[in-house]
Amino acid sequence: MERLVEFEAPVVFFKFIELEEHLSEKLGAKVDLVTPNALKPLIKPQVMGEAVYA
């Protein structure tokens, strides 16, 4: 399961991985988190256009 995430403040890489593992455990499925800045330029407009903010 892939999720696009944005944070209000910078997040330390360790905490980012910790969140990914926590969500995977709670949801019972592998969770991959990605930030908008990590998206490849070719797909970024499409992904951002399809994003659902919750």
pLDDT, tens only, 1-54: 889 999 999 999 999 999 999 999 999 999 999 999 999 999 999 999 999 988
pLDDT score recorded for residue 45: 96
As to burial, measured by CB atoms within 10 angstroms (0-12 exposed, 13-18 middle, 19+ buried), residue 4 is middle
- Among candidates 29, 20, 39, 25, which has minimal Cα distance to 1? 29
Quote the number of domains for the chain: 1
pLDDT score recorded for residue 29: 97
Q: List CB contacts of 35: < 8 A, sequence separation 6 or more.
A: 4, 5, 6, 7
Q: Contact at 8 Å (CB) between 4 and 37?
A: no
pLDDT score recorded for residue 54: 83
Partners of 2 in beta bridges: 32
Domain that holds residue 7: 2-50
Q: What pTM, to 2 d.p., does this model score?
A: 0.75
